[in-house]
Structure 1
Amino acid sequence: MQRYKIEDMSCDHCVRTVEKAIRSVDPQATVTIDLATKEVSVATAAGPAPIAEALKNAGYECQPI
């Protein structure tokens, strides 16, 4: 399980964009997003670097937690 903090998430559109970015790397990923805490949990076979890169390309900086 990978976990990230994404400070720039502020709305449902952000949540959909983050989920879409993660699924572009691994369509089978299980993504759980808590907008209130700005935390994302990802169960994926992909490594953290491709996930972080996809999030960056979608306009979101993430911090592993």
Structure 2
Amino acid sequence: MYTLQVDNIGCGSCVAKINQALKDLDSQASVDIDRTSGRASIRTDEALQTVCELLTEMGYPARPA
């Protein structure tokens, strides 16, 4: 499981987009996002770098928390 600091999460739509993108990457992924703090707990078999790059390319810069 990864805990990431993710920027630019402003609304529920942002959360939904992130959830869908991670599910598209790994159908077994589990995602819990706290919009207030910008923290995301992500359980996936994908590499940390892959997840961070995906979110950053989507406009949500991500880094390990």
* TM-score, scaled to structure 1: 0.87
Distance in 1 separating the partners of 2:24 and 2:35 = 20
Identity of matched residues, % = 28
* TM-score, scaled to structure 2: 0.87
Q: Could you list the runs of 4 or more consecutive aligned residues of structure 1 that deviate by over 4 angstroms after TM superposition?
A: none
Count, aligned residues = 65
1:19 and 2:2 aligned? no
Q: How far has the Cα of 1:49 moved from its partner?
A: 1.3
Gaps of 5+ in 2: none
Gaps of 5+ in 1: none
Please give the root-mean-square deviation of Cα atoms over the aligned residues, in Å.
1.1
